[in-house]
Amino acid sequence: MPSYNIRNAVTVDYPAINELALEAWQVLKDGYDPGQWDGMLTAIGKMSDLAAKGELIVAVEQDRIAGAVCYMPPHTSNPAIFPEGWPSIRMLVTRPEYRNKGIGRRLTEECILRARRDRADCIALHTSPVMTVALPLYLRMGFIKDKELSPIAGAPYARYVLMF
């Protein structure tokens, strides 16, 4: 039984979510162009801004945010990446000391539940082979590579979709 709870983030959580995102992404640094890394960190450090259009979800253990993700409901996903009406998963992050406890899987499952709640016939995300933990997790969960995307900060990316 997990020792964490999944809940919607509240405004007071936003600074901790932004800090968590920066901490979680440090392991990915070598996969990106060093000249573009600082720009990536600036965007990553604003993860809570996703709450303006999406549903920011956190995994909390003993009042500490252990992981976070943003579910983007249908018609809110980036139209340059996702077809109109597709919900998407954005910025799944887990605090390093909480990894391998099923938090990433559980946050992904919560996004899938919300997509089904919204009567979507799929959910999508974009990720990179640089994400050596996340990508295998998504593949194990049934996501299928759908389309190659332009690199982001020098790292290859692709769109993955899970059909319902």
Q: Compute φ and ψ for 87, nearest 5 degrees.
A: -75, 160
Ranges of the chain whose pLDDT falls below 70: 1-2
Domain boundaries, the chain: 5-119
pTM for this entry: 0.95
Ordered DSSP codes for 15-84: HHHHHHHHHHHGGGGGGS-HHHHHHHHHHHTTGGGGGGTSEEEEEEETTEEEEEEEEE-TT-S-TTTS-T
Q: How far apart are CA 24 and CA 10, in angstroms?
A: 20
Q: Compute φ and ψ for 91, nearest 5 degrees.
A: 55, 50
Which pLDDT score is estimated for 156? Answer: 98
Domain 5-119, CATH class in plain words: alpha beta
- Host H or E run for residue 136: helix 134-140
Which pLDDT score is estimated for 2? Answer: 64
Which pLDDT score is estimated for 3? Answer: 84
| Sequence letter at residue 156 | P
